[in-house]
Structure 1
């Protein structure tokens, strides 16, 4: 039997290697796994794991990168339409030469996975969304979120990491049947103690297979996962970036969110929310 080590890229033979995982921890004959692209955490017997060859991994990465790039381009097209509409409004239908600047909503992103956090911050930067990223274990998030909100003063909060639902531990309503949904719920509740209004602090919370209903009930604007399916690592980024880059006088509809996501309505949902971007005039250049 091939020795399984922490950090290796593997698949589960019993699932036909449908999801690619990183080995997070090994205890005896059981390994704790984290999805490479999906926000899923799972335990698996070591004898069920298959090490993914580098050439196979590269093929998977190429397909995944193309999917992510398609999503990015769709988002950019949507963003271009919003900017064109903004320019039309600011210039009174292009009849006046008015220069203006934009202040996108600031994101505080709490992530249980440092690798995912790095991927997410790179995409935020590419989209032009200001972000302050913090890596915390999911169980630490409820304890730290209030002080971080006070320090960063974000417009948008992301609470994510890894999760999973185990039918053997209870039905879908039981938080005890989830790996981290309870921590996400508690974090949202603590955040709402600091800023109770949904348009003063927009919250996305959840990961793969998370308890969507409980997270929304706790006070989140957006959450995963309505059908308890897996969500992509970058889904939280595209959800909140849409809010960050939409003018605050406009509403962000649920379809607006879903059409630029990687997962869709089975994995993501929420309520109508005001945008967080503010426009100002005149345009200015800061002195260095």
Structure 2
């Protein structure tokens, strides 16, 4: 087997499809370093545990994942209805709500149509430990009409570089992701030593919260496959993976970001709505109530 081959692990029943990204020579054997295809996980194993996957099977797997992604994007674009997106508001006094609606109606009574409105979704900084995944994510941001800046930074270097990047890019939403995974057979799911990269995600989030402690001002998603969800949230992330230590799809951070970026700043995003926006769902993504980042404007310029 060689670098670039697509394989599965026999000991895991061939549950995940990997690409061989490196081969490390040992004393009497070789260790094969693996990267998940479509799933944000890294692993290593010996050659006797690997089995090559045919191109036909790879095609079928990609077709299933692409179907899910396309369905999610279609659902998102249809839900926007041409602009802003609201969410279920927090509990509020009914009289106060009626008064608020009356004021808005009065404010806009002379506006003839919504065509004069425009909007600006939140800006995203996406820091990824994997260049291939980042490229896929940036293409999806573009499909979703999101202003996103991407940077490839290895997980171990993310804590030392993230604050300077945020100062440079000035995003509303920061994604810190890459690869992760648990040590096989662990029993202590909170110990960061039992994860490949969770510690780096935690440290990066802590650095950002030292720089900006406001959860609504700077929205943070952090984590990858099987990441230590509790530790990442405790460090200050708004959203993290993975509550059930499952594998997350490479685009889950993008879909979380989209929900926040296109929710009106007057609304607090319901957690279940964020999770429903993802491909992996409740076992892979969780988080805290967060205010949206979409701002409406009026009137729209006639020159653009």
Relative to the length of structure 1, the TM-score reads 0.92
The secondary structure found in structure 1 opposite 2:77 is: helix
Give the aligned partner of residue 31 of structure 1: 32
Whether contact under 8 Å (1:208, 1:230) holds in the other structure is yes
Alignment partner of 1:239 is 2:256: yes
Alignment partner of 1:51 is 2:52: yes
Give the aligned partner of residue 136 of structure 2: 119
Larger Rg: 2
The secondary structure found in structure 2 opposite 1:83 is: coil
Distance 1:43 1:285 in 2: 57
Give the aligned partner of residue 96 of structure 1: 112
Identify the match of residue 198 of structure 1 among 215, 221, 240.
215
Distance 2:109 2:281 in 1: 35
Deviating more after overlay: 278-287 vs 10-19: 278-287
Matches within 5 A, 1:225-236: 225-236=242-253
The secondary structure found in structure 2 opposite 1:34 is: strand
The secondary structure found in structure 2 opposite 1:57 is: helix
Tell me which stretches of 4 or more aligned residues in structure 1 moved more than 4 Å: 88-95, 167-170
Deviating more after overlay: 232-241 vs 16-25: 16-25
CA positional deviation for 1:84: 7.4
Unmatched runs of 5 consecutive residues or more in structure 1: none
The secondary structure found in structure 2 opposite 1:258 is: helix
The secondary structure found in structure 2 opposite 1:166 is: coil
Relative to the length of structure 2, the TM-score reads 0.87
Identify the match of residue 167 of structure 2 among 150, 155, 162.
150
The aligned length equals: 283
Whether contact under 8 Å (1:170, 1:176) holds in the other structure is no
The secondary structure found in structure 1 opposite 2:125 is: strand
Give the aligned partner of residue 137 of structure 1: 154
User: How has the CA–CA distance of structure 1 residues 183 and 85 changed in structure 2, closer, same or farther, with 3 Å as cutoff?
Assistant: closer
CA positional deviation for 1:170: 5.8
Q: CA RMSD in A?
A: 2.2
Distance 1:48 1:269 in 2: 33
Give the aligned partner of residue 233 of structure 2: 216
- Give deviations 1:232-284, integer Å, cap 9, x for gaps: 00000000110011111111111111112101111110001000111111101
